[in-house]
Structure 1
């Protein structure tokens, strides 16, 4: 009997020691294996946190994450899944890259929580977004409410979930419902072809009492981050009121939200932007993200080289018709450049307008050049789209996608991007109007092209 008591005491000490070790641990241990891996790494991402973890030849990985409890996105190649990670715990993941979500299995304290998240994705898979967003407003609200209610009921019925996860997931379900509702005013007119739709007061009431300036929820919930960014993007108007947009960000309580919106506003620091100097100074003062501020300073410094009258960066890229074409080959005429990609919806939307401009200025003092920044693996896709859509002008493909020298020299961080160069290779406008913008023709007329 004495030996039994001693054994129980020893086991109790070990159990307490292990519990204390877990509670004191300031990191999460993430490990696992990805069968049939499609890339040499995975990425764990949440708001301003990103960590890449290498896979060995067998797809095995292990690493520590110094992060707080919450939701994180796991990326592998072009697939991703949402994880719930608890600070101080260990989670082991096994899956097959060819059936990424379907084959996911978990071990560890958060295994059941993560299985709940996978089951939620599988349960909602196959729902037709076109059919859902084509519904009339009342029917759409009911559909979204039904989806929310099923998930809430599953959460309520679960008997093996951690109480902390349940608390997190209740909010997550609420924000998922709200972000789905918020997309309706934009998607419904497009899918239903009813351009006259305006959301009712009943519909808009869903968004009245949301505290968007909420740092804690912004850091934890991706759905809330989307809601907040969507909300403030409507309040920011850098094209017409730069100072008002900056003031809106400055007045926020959440520094994390300030940092995020400052990064979004930085997109408007461009070679042709008249407020570039003001924006650079203001955003540098607002943000506490040192990495962002370093990148912002580099961008601001680089665009100084892209002022009108400066020598244009050059290119020498593969021509769809064969061989290569350089900027020097085109000197003697103005050159209007469209930087695009086959996967870029807004780029493709400009094609009809670009074709019209090309037709109207055929045989005039201007060359039209389209430079694709598709990845090398999509080379055949680029060639096919140029042929199928009968794209005119000079069709080129950059050698290193986003990292191509011409792209980085022009500080291109979003496409489509249009550039106008004069017959002597000097920059006219490093951020020229789009073909669909009447200001382009006004610019051509001013230059007597």
Structure 2
């Protein structure tokens, strides 16, 4: 009888010691001091989850994810976060110093504290404008040191997830390559597209009112160029402000030129919008959308983009203030337009 009891006890002991199956979801909890919103959004291309934030700033929820990088939004603030099913992650942050106070505890905290540290260092590096004014040899030396700083952060984090570490090493190399390409672009803007240099030219662009127009046709006046497209919402938000500025400077020594970089398939949409919105100034259609020589030479990768060219055809600003900015009028006043 005793033997039976011993055997049964052993079986129960084995059953009791059986490890729990790993969770197939993430637990996300935390406290936000001075929250900007009543909810925290987890997103990756689209919103994955909206988590309610209580009046005291605390929150708690679970979600299933595909392992990878996500973005947490608290109103106007945001942070990158790495999520993996099985994580039990707690977040603490004060939005008055969001990046500086963001901290994690729990399963998955090592990876995410590292990501937070990288974001803070990245902000410091990219916010240092002096970095992009260095001569090439000095910049190369500096960028090598920056790469080492990021990799030292990863080493010091002592993360055991080898797949995560491998991915982050590649991400560091991509980041430093991005900084190098930003340097090249900024140097181009400061030299080739610097103030006083001859502006790249557009030639024989279709004019909404008929015929074609080239930049040389406008010599003798300042030329304020708006590069836009019919599908671009931020571009359309500037239209009312642009109309006001055009009206205020009507008859003065300046031409307002809007260049659409719509594709040919949207040519009729461009004509319709110019007509229906009663767009003023000189309305032109670029000869090859984004690939037009003028757009390429100005390194335009995002719109709206505004340019200011002087009466001799030289660059005043390759990235001029928007019509909605008071800085534009201040610039016009400085030039005595």
TM-score by length of 1: 0.45
Cα distance between partner residues in 2 of 1:172 and 1:315:
56
Cα distance between partner residues in 1 of 2:119 and 2:304:
27
Residue equivalent to 1:253? 114
Verify the 8 A CA contact 1:259 1:288 in the aligned structure 2: no
Cα distance between partner residues in 2 of 1:435 and 1:403:
25
Residue equivalent to 1:303? 189
Deviation (angstroms), 1:381: 1.0
Residue equivalent to 1:369? 257
- What whole-Å deviation, never above 9, does each CA across 1:358-403 have from its counterpart, x for those lacking one? 0010010000000111122211111111111010000111122222
- What whole-Å deviation, never above 9, does each CA across 1:36-58 have from its counterpart, x for those lacking one? xxxxxxxxxxxxxxxxxxxxxxx
Higher strand share: 2
Unmatched 5+ stretches in structure 1: 1-162, 185-198, 211-216, 236-244
Counting matched residue pairs gives 241
SS at structure 1 position matched to 2:114: coil
> Which residue of the other structure, out of 165, 178, 193, is the alignment partner of 2:42?
178
Residue equivalent to 2:133? 277
TM-score by length of 2: 0.58
Which protein has the larger Cα radius of gyration, Structure 1 or Structure 2?
2
Residue equivalent to 2:294? 406
- What whole-Å deviation, never above 9, does each CA across 1:291-316 have from its counterpart, x for those lacking one? 53553343133213111111111112
> Which residue of the other structure, out of 272, 276, 299, is the alignment partner of 1:384?
272
Aligned pairs for 1:422-441 within 5 A = 422-441=310-329
> Which residue of the other structure, out of 229, 234, 245, is the alignment partner of 1:357?
245
Unmatched 5+ stretches in structure 2: 1-20, 30-39, 81-92, 94-98, 103-111, 148-171
Higher helix share: 1
SS at structure 2 position matched to 1:337: strand
More contact order relative to length (CA 8 Å, sep ≥ 6): 2
RMSD of the TM alignment (CA)? 4.5
SS at structure 2 position matched to 1:350: helix
1:447 aligns with 2:294: no
Cα distance between partner residues in 2 of 1:203 and 1:341:
45
Verify the 8 A CA contact 1:178 1:206 in the aligned structure 2: no
Cα distance between partner residues in 1 of 2:42 and 2:209:
49
- Residues 202/255 of structure 1: CA separation in 2 closer, same or farther (3 Å cut): closer
Verify the 8 A CA contact 1:333 1:366 in the aligned structure 2: yes
Aligned pairs for 1:48-447 within 5 A = 167=24, 170-171=25-26, 178-179=42-43, 180=47, 202=55, 204-206=57-59, 220-221=67-68, 224-225=70-71, 227=73, 231-232=78-79, 253-254=114-115, 276-277=132-133, 281=139, 285=146, 287-289=172-174, 291-293=177-179, 295-304=181-190, 305-316=192-203, 317-447=205-335
